[in-house]
Structure 1
């Protein structure tokens, strides 16, 4: 079978002229590519670990792939470790630990000295648990009970300095935290009937923080290494804070002091950083500790009935008997100064608390989605109302209706930023006065996504960040950042000075392990610059004065894997249509760049291609853009077959590396280019209520433009779409005969039954896709009957004259199999050329490698026959009858 596949794959490239030293990609080549798994940068930034894994191996099947250790100082791979796991750097990257399982199944731990690679076996009875940044390991060892010696079961803490070989054992330990780079410790320890909290240097001597009988002592403590403060509670009754710096303990709260209403009980207590306030959840005593009565009912197994009720909370496909629901109660705040307990939110309210601290404010906010819960079947996101509540009186009022984006507190807990998706502006809520005001009115450009073309309200461009003093917030427009003074004392200014808009560059958050939302006065924020003209990208830094410094710019897409903990070095990748995203190491300013990996050196053996952005005027009279992929050595005087494929918009993906893989749905653009095809991907911007017509206006106008430019030629133009674009492709072939063949995957062919369907995977009714999101009808079926009919291509199947290859699997979890099958049946009844493939048991995509090979071959043979004029494969000529299924795949061409 493999030999036959290889022979057929080679036959796909017949007649294609290519450079003598290179060859076109084939099916076998598509299984030879590698990916990079688990790239990690060491804390100091010197070392990189990663795995080179064949793409055919699953992500859970890469355990046997060796881990490679790269030393940036030498610029070389220094170690290759097989069958290892649990990497941990310690001692300022001088050492590395890992585990390895031997032939008997025993897991062993090793220490590597770096960069020498000298390996030693960890032979101590406790686990190796290095303390970050130090040569110290600390781990617990359990001592079993020994009744003969009157020893109870307990834990001992073993602390070892791997550099000096010194060790310390602290017996009967309950809880501990080691800090100060392994030099200091705070711990809880039992001694007979006594318990104590102690602290000091790891090797001692230790100071006593608290001591007493076990039953009157805490069972745990939390500790903040930065502030050297901690907290604990005793029997959920007495809440305390302690400070190692001042060797002090302060009582924050005694539960007995809270005036809980009669017949009510405290369910949960949350301490805030502000010692004056305590958050509580309180409920009726009668609802606590209730046990569900054991059922004595007898089940009737003679049949099973599923009853669908019109007004129940969820349809049966969403119901689950095992759904876990955390008990909820009314929310209260207790003011320790005034000793007042105030209800601030009902049980259904979701309190939104400041994420850093709760200031001395008069108001808090909560959200309530109760009025909209049933709408989850026809809304992408469940809306919610926003309420402000006076924490002194408990009086609440509505301040935002049907919001879609969660409000965000300022760092100091004084202000809340709220995006109103209906009015499309940013509001500010003052937690002191309770006032709400529009703070984006002075920004002369939209703060919402102007390209949003779905029925749901347009989302905001987002908040870029806050100043640490809480005085300013940075709001984004399509290009720049705007600095808003929250107290209104200063005029709103364009922080990036309009540089983004004037140069058509969008400054976006650059996601990495250094993500921040709160910026200090001297902060330099890493951002990604997206250059809209050519879709190149840059990595920039913006300081708090608005200066923009470009660190790197190129015709690539960039992605940061990690910055080192000392912020001196960076691990990152760049990619474009011909550049695989290999790992690169550099300084944090992107100087001294070193390429770490060369995962796919075989690429240079194959014919490749290039991509460019093209632009034309569509049938609506608007400028339209798209991507044009051209074979390597493209000659404008030659005639090439063209595959048109699309989804929504593609130009932002211009510099995406399309790895040559077997197809799970649509044709791989790199594979197609390598085999002599032009691939055209037009952008589509939709008009609500007429998604099919929007597709026609963009796609067919683009194809006309290609023909007019001499790039595409009638008789050699194919069309392809899958899922949402499967619908669009079906619509197009009912409206035009410009395409010589079309491959349609997992399509919705009837908007009416599509709207009334249920997604098999999630169990969710599909209303939301039509009323709120991708299908873009923006109305119910009954409010837009004619539009649904007009946008349903199955009704006009009699107008299809284009040969079709339909792909739909019977276990599709997203689109009902019957939708694609209906298109095949229509074509069969109309006696028009059509083939349908169903990889039985597969879902929305083909996932089994063998099936992917088969689909890649059949799909490209279909395009080759209609667009290149090759001979017809036997499966298209003869079909595959049940008796031949699995025995004769009929790849060979008719003689």
Structure 2
């Protein structure tokens, strides 16, 4: 008994010692934190690769055989790895050391002189390695990876042809093409471009050929199996958009003979058919003054019978003639905003490059040599779906309703059917509100009809409209929708083979719907889902297919809405049995992949405490092996835990939230608490938050590791009352946490960004509960913001207040009191809470002047406040150096107010403009 007591004491002492030796996260920990990147499983299921990267440093690739860590090999800096289709080879690129590159940058060395990637090949069975240095590029077929091609040093030559006004650099290289595991290889010199057909049977090579007049270029096509080569295309100066057909037996490319740089490149469409014959298309019949578009990539139909390409009208002033009678300084540059314009000027300017590249479409019929112009069809609005069935495409046209888009983003569009044989356009439906798509087999066009929350389809043969979900006793709109716009759907999984069934999601269930309506819709999850609040969704394991086969296994992902647990299940296509659990638990399961022979799976599993590592299992999901183990340094760092909490809003609604607690949490102690939120976040219970420099918000692991509680409440909104809605959820949630007894109610902070920043600004006008506040990019004056522009998209901000996140639900003149009462600026005289604002001068989402208005109002009312403006930065920070800086300032600000730490000099002294860029003033003041 005495021995047992001593043993227990020693184990307890050892555990306490280990806990005491742990340290808190610091800002220096960010760079070495690891994350899982690309992961692959070989076709035979015996090999797995896992790419592991650091936030700032050299990563590695781990290769595991047969799901055993005993058979794991690590390759530093190996990326872009692929298995050969026969699962016998691994190929990838070894990157240069980042630190070496940094030193070369410090030495001002030219980028062309930097060390380049190395090609890495590994024969998996023997372990034999091949390393080829100084690689400039490598390519493999998209699907059948039996071959690889690479090139090394690029040769730079001057094109000094007599017809060129100025010499132009052209880079060529020697190309080497190899088959995995054999001696078969091909070499090409003077190469400019190359690429495989998806099925890996053919290769095209664009090569440079010099003659006495001009630099001409040819295209060679290699049959990789036979070794036969042909040169069907010659004597052109430039090429664009090479493309093989799905079978690889046909080829198309754009080509131009233009020599002078200042000339418009007049492109031709060159097609090599399945017999090796060259067809040249220079124009579209009956379309005057146009050019084959160089901005639209040709594409073959899946059958190979059709080729879609683009054309553009020639500029009105072609050939270009410069007006030499006007000086540059005499030219007037002006934007004219017209009330009748379909798009306001900022949108037009933002989309100008896309508009210049906009192409009209035509179809070339391979069998008849006919070309059909599809009229004024905008290429972005025409959907072909590979022409699997029928000689038609669908056209979506929102131009009749586009003018209203600034305030009505759910405006309609006209849906039409285009006959690919004649170009005839037939209207199917006017003012459709939805996002119509063509079914995989081409029988239907289908969409979610937001006005009545139903799914609909049109039979493209009969043109009959079908109400797919009309007879189903379920709800298909988002039950948590709380904005003035029409609610969205829960989505759909797509269709089964030959469009036999449509697979659609209810809140919990999956329904199999017969579009011909000869059978009653079937619930594939047996209705048991609603009782346990389990949401089931399809997992598409074969991304090459855009449909599901009913004779194959139905793999589902399930998530419990109450507990936030998740996992994978095996469904029943007949809907007789409930989904069978494969793996399930209190974790977030994601990224499921299967080997081609379906013998093994890999997936990721994570919790707040555990990084999202990769697991390996057999087809029966009976044995699970953890393959990766990233962030082992976390074991020496205080991390904490999270729990799902319940509270009541001021309206009596049952709400949920997340409460993050420090490691070794003691309920008898009082902890400072940070409050962060963004609409509803409780579904992220098992999300792993890496400690990363902040782009705009507090990093939860950092604050928890440094002995803060962090509370993240869900928010339910009422139309017209976004600010009060936030207050009615956040404050009661905080009070519920205080009632637990371990929150230091005198030291609570609040922080949010964008929509969260707005809510922070509003809440501190209503309560002094918070000792310090952080508001990133906050809208504080809805009256001025309403008429502003979202410069990132060029859109007016009206839609945001009338229909979406800001949730006012009407115009400024319809609801003036709502705009004022929800605007914190008009009540800034009530604020007593010290506030840190970040709002950057290139913010494309929220006007920068909103942050300035808030700061000046706080300053005018003598509220301790600071405005951080990162020059040249957008809504959220992009530059890592700025993210690190914000992370430090956020923690220093809240540590000062919530923990009593000394204030840094940037808070006490500021940074005058004359000191900008010379000092950061992180140092703590002596006071």
Q: CA deviation at 1:654?
A: 0.9
Aligned partner of 1:26 in structure 2 is 26
Correspondent of 2:88 among 94, 102, 113: 94
Q: CA deviation at 1:591?
A: 4.1
Q: Residue 616 of structure 1 aligns to a residue in which SS?
A: strand
Map of 2:457 onto structure 1 = 428
Give the deviation of 1:70 after TM superposition.
3.3
Deviation at 1:532, TM superposition (A): 0.2
The CA distance in 2 between the partners of 1:852 and 1:641, in whole Å, is 24
Whether 1:469 and 2:498 are equivalent positions in the alignment is yes
Asked if the contact 1:723–1:745 (Cα under 8 Å) also holds between the matched residues in 2, the reply is: yes
Residue aligning to 2:426: 396
Instruction: Give how far 1:397 is off.
Output: 3.4
For residue 478 of structure 1, report the CA deviation from its aligned partner: 1.2
Rounded Cα–Cα distance in structure 2 between residues aligned with 1:787 and 1:480: 39
Distance 1:296 1:112 in 2: 64
- Secondary structure of 2:451's match? coil
Separation in 1 of the partners of 2:198 and 2:788? 60
In the alignment, what sits opposite 2:536? 507
**What pairs up with 1:351-370 in 2 under 5 angstroms?**
352-353=382-383, 355-359=385-389, 365-370=394-399
User: Residue 382 and residue 586 in structure 1: after superposition, are their counterparts in 2 closer, same or farther (change >3 A)?
Assistant: farther
Residues 764 and 18 of structure 1, relative CA distance in 2, 3 Å threshold = farther
1:892 matched to which residue of 2?
Answer: 924
Return the alpha-carbon distance in structure 2 between the equivalents of residues 303 and 211 of structure 1: 50
Q: Offset at 1:166?
A: 6.0
What are the superposed Cα offsets for residues 179-226 of structure 1, whole Å, 9 maximum, x if unpaired?
Answer: 9998x8799999xxxx9999999468x8x9x999999xxx9994555x
- Higher mean alpha-carbon deviation, 670-679 vs 657-666, is at 657-666
Residue range with higher mean Cα deviation, 460-469 or 662-671: 662-671
User: Taking structure 1 as reference, are residues 65 and 427 closer, same or farther at Cα in structure 2, changes over 3 Å only?
Assistant: closer
> In the alignment, what sits opposite 1:113?
123
The 5-angstrom pairing of residues 80-91 of structure 1 reads 80-82=74-76, 87-90=81-84
Matches within 5 A, 1:103-182: 109=119, 111-120=121-130, 163=181, 165=183
- Does the CA contact (< 8 Å) of 2:837 and 2:867 recur in 1? yes
Q: 1:803 to 1:469 in 2, by over 3 A?
A: same
* 388-397 or 788-797, larger mean C-alpha shift: 388-397
Correspondent of 2:508 among 466, 479, 497: 479
Q: Aligned residue for 2:488?
A: 459
Distance 1:105 1:186 in 2: 29
- Which residue in the other structure is 1:450 paired with? 479
Q: Deviations over 1:713-755 (max 9, x none)?
A: 5323222222111110111111122223222222111111222
CA contact (8 A) 1:306 1:316 kept: no
Pair 429,173 (structure 1): closer, same or farther in 2 beyond 3 Å: same
1:380 CA displacement: 4.7
- The reply to whether residue 718 of structure 1 matches residue 712 of structure 2 is no
- 1:641 aligns with 672
Distance in 2 (CA, whole Å) between partners of 1:602 and 1:123 is 33
**Structure 1 residues 454, 517: closer, same or farther in 2, change over 3 A?**
farther
| Alignment correspondent of 2:65 | 71
Distance 1:170 1:686, change over 3 A: closer
Contact 1:85 1:99 in 2 (8 A): yes
CA distance in 2, matches of 1:277, 1:770: 46
C-alpha change, 1:186 and 1:579, in structure 2 (3 Å) is closer
Deviations 1:412-450 (A, max 9, x none): 322222221122211121222212132211122221222
Secondary structure of the 2:498 match is: coil
Separation in structure 2 between the aligned mates of residue 178 and residue 807 of structure 1, nearest angstrom:
49
Give, in whole Å, the separation in 1 of the partners of 2:232 and 2:32: 67
**CA 1:733/1:435 → structure 2, altered by over 3 Å: closer, same or farther?**
same
The reply on whether 1:44 has 2:38 as its aligned counterpart is no
**Residue 319 to residue 357, structure 1, CA distance change in 2 (3 Å):** closer
Task: After TM superposition, list the pairs within 5 Å mapping 1:402-417 onto structure 2.
Answer: 402-405=432-435, 407-417=436-446
CA distance in 1 between partners of 2:178 and 2:335 (Å): 64
Q: Would the alpha carbon gap of residues 426 and 252 (structure 1) be closer, same or farther in structure 2, given more than 3 Å must change?
A: farther
What secondary structure is seen at the aligned counterpart in 1 of 2:129?
strand
Residue 784 (1) aligns with residue 812 (2): no
Moved more, 807-816 or 272-281: 272-281
Task: Return the offset for 1:110.
Answer: 5.0
1:146 maps to what in 2? none
Residues 70 and 79, structure 1, Cα contact 8 Å, conserved in 2: yes
- Asked whether the equivalents of residues 232 and 240 of structure 1 are also in contact (C-alpha less than 8 Å), the reply is yes
Q: Deviation string for 1:801-853 (max 9, x for gaps)? A: 22323333444443333322322222222223333344455443455555545
Can you list the C-alpha shifts for 1:249-300, whole angstroms capped at 9, x where unaligned? Answer: 79999999x996697999799875679989898999x999954544446344
The answer as to 2:787 corresponding to 1:759 is no
Whether the 8 Å contact between 2:555 and 2:568 is mirrored in structure 1 is yes
CA contact (8 A) 2:590 2:605 kept: yes
Change (3 A) 1:279 1:864: closer
Match of 1:545 in 2: 574
The 3-state SS of whatever aligns with 1:426 is strand
Alpha-carbon distance change, 315 to 203 in structure 1, aligned in 2, over 3 angstroms:
closer
Unaligned runs of 5+ in 2: 1-16, 97-112, 156-171, 208-217, 256-267
Partner of 2:447: 418
Contact kept? 1:171, 1:189, Cα under 8 Å: no
The answer to whether the Cα contact below 8 Å between 1:644 and 1:717 also exists between their aligned partners in 2 is: yes
- 1:833-852 correspondence to structure 2 within 5 Å: 833-846=864-877, 851-852=882-883
Residues 649 and 683 in structure 1, CA contact (< 8 A), matched pair in contact too: yes
User: Is 1:54 matched up with 2:54?
Assistant: yes
SS of equivalent to 1:643: strand
In structure 1, C-alpha distance between the alignment counterparts of 2:329 and 2:189, rounded to whole Å: 59
Q: Structure 1 residues 834, 387: closer, same or farther in 2, change over 3 A?
A: same
Q: Which residue in the other structure is 1:309 paired with?
A: 337
* TM-score normalised per structure 2: 0.77
1:624 paired residue number = 655
Q: Against the structure 1 CA distance between its residues 296 and 686, is the aligned structure 2 distance closer, same or farther, given a 3 Å change threshold?
A: farther
**Residues 902, 924 of structure 2: 8 Å contact kept:** no
- After TM superposition, the structure 1 stretch with the greater mean CA deviation from structure 2, 105-114 or 457-466, is 105-114
Q: 1:155–1:171: 8 Å Cα contact kept in structure 2?
A: yes
Q: Which residue of 1 aligns with 2:606?
A: 575
Measure, in 1, the Cα distance between the counterparts of 2:835 and 2:134.
Answer: 68
Alignment of 1:179-578 (within 5 A): 202=225, 222=244, 224-225=246-247, 291-296=319-324, 298-301=326-329, 305-311=333-339, 312=341, 313-316=343-346, 318-319=348-349, 322-323=353-354, 325-326=356-357, 328-329=359-360, 346-347=376-377, 352-353=382-383, 355-359=385-389, 365-380=394-409, 383-388=412-417, 394=424, 396-405=426-435, 407-510=436-539, 514=543, 516-546=545-575, 547=577, 548-560=579-591, 562-578=593-609
Deviation at 1:695, TM superposition (A): 0.6
Match of 1:10 in 2: none
Considering Cα pairs closer than 8 Å and 6+ residues apart, tell me whether 1 or 2 has the greater RCO.
Answer: 1
SS of the residue corresponding to residue 75 of structure 1 reads strand
1:51-108 CA-partner distances (Å, limit 9, x unpaired)? 54332x1xxxx5x544443334552465444465664433733333445699995876
- Taking structure 1 as reference, are residues 283 and 477 closer, same or farther at Cα in structure 2, changes over 3 Å only? same
Please say if 1:584 is aligned against 2:615. Answer: yes
Instruction: Name which of structure 1's ranges 117-126 and 844-853 shifts more when overlaid on structure 2.
Output: 117-126
What is the deviation of 1:330?
A: 7.6
Q: Which residue of 2 aligns with 1:12?
A: none
Counterpart secondary structure, 2:749: strand
Distance 1:556 1:140 in 2: 45
SS in 1 for 2:726: helix
Give 3-state SS (helix, strand or coil) of 1:714's partner.
Answer: strand
Choose 273-282 or 654-663, whichever is displaced more: 273-282
- Mapped partners of 1:140, 1:714: distance in 2: 65
Task: After TM superposition, give the deviation of residue 686 of structure 1 in Å.
Answer: 1.8
**Cα distance change of structure 1 residues 588 and 833 upon mapping to structure 2, 3 Å threshold:** same
